[in-house]
Amino acid sequence: MKQLRESAIELIRLIRSKLLIKVFLLTLIVLWGLTGLTYTFILIVTPRLYQTELQRNLDTAIERTIKELSSVNLKRGKEIIKDLSNSYNIAIMLFDSNGKQIDYGEDILFVADGNTASVLERKSITQTYEVNFNDIQEIYTMTVLGKK
């Protein structure tokens, strides 16, 4: 134990007397700190920026789709909604003015992976938009569900 203590004291004296060791240790501490900051930035900030950009792109695509839906009939609108859903991996529900879900002979809840329940169970971004089609004089409600 005494020998260990003497070795530690000798090591501390060596570190205090040698400039090269001081510079090495200081550089090591600075690099560890910078690595930690970089990792924190990548872990926390980058996903938030990416999510914001994805949401902005989705909002733009939905606005463009709503404009396009107003110039097509209901049948073509279904195809457009499917394309949007598949492109962004979101679920879309369409309701008439009475709140009844529109049925096209298929399930209107389009999900890219085919698993409707998985989208509805996870945390989701839910937004509602009013849409219309050129062959029907009724305002429809389009609800968009997507994962956060």
Per-residue pLDDT of the chain (148 residues; tens, 9 = 90+): 788 888 888 888 877 788 888 888 899 999 999 999 999 999 988 888 888 888 888 889 999 999 999 999 888 888 888 888 888 888 888 888 888 887 654 444 444 444 554 545 444 667 888 898 888 888 888 888 876 5
Taken in order of first residue, the domains within the chain and their CATH numbers are 37-147 (3.30.450)
Q: Does the model's pTM come out above 0.85?
A: no
Sheet holding 91-95, edge to edge: 91-95, 136-147, 124-133
Q: Is the dihedral of CA 97, 103, 109, 115 positive or negative?
A: positive
